Amino acid sequence: MELTKILNPQAVRVVSQMTSKKRLFQELGEIAAQTYGLNAAVAIDGLQERESLGPTGVGHGIALPHARLEEVPGIIGIFLRLEKPLDYDSVDRQPVDLVFGLFAPKESGVEHLKALALVSRTMRDAGICTKLRANTDPAKLYAILTESRATAAA
């Protein structure tokens, strides 16, 4: 599995101001609707439901909100770089500025876990995160995310 298969370049954004985790989930839902044709309300509800089980802020300024939904045709991703870090109730209590959202079909099973592992490995790479934080062009962010995985997998 490669990030190019789950992340559409149109789903990579830089967001200047985010006021709350709820607003962040709304943004992810709106992008999922615009880019992938999902129902925004269903996507938002799915993210909130998953978050209620435990925080998806994994530390080091990174959040990996995700949800399994009935209507998702395949695994899809959304990446946001927040210009102003957001208090996210992360495991290390640090604010979040890199967000990789994932949506998977309800019955995706192991494929969802593989995608989550791939995203997690990518976002744990300090070099990748440094490059992501140094850029504000969505095309460059997409290239950083997808090229790094292609070379690491080779």
Residuewise pLDDT in 10s, the chain (154 residues): 789 999 999 999 999 888 899 999 999 999 999 999 999 999 999 999 999 998 899 999 999 999 999 988 899 999 999 999 999 988 899 999 999 999 999 988 888 889 989 999 999 999 999 999 999 999 999 999 998 544 444 3
CATH number at residue 35: 3.40.930.10
pTM score? 0.92
Half-sphere exposure (Cβ direction) of 66: Cα atoms closer than 13 Å: 25
Q: Which of 26, 43, 66, 68 is catalytic?
A: 66
Count how many domains the chain has: 1
Half-sphere exposure (Cβ direction) of 118: Cα atoms closer than 13 Å: 25
Q: Is 66 an active-site residue?
A: yes
Cα 83 from chain centroid (whole Å)? 15
Residue 33 structural domain = 3-153
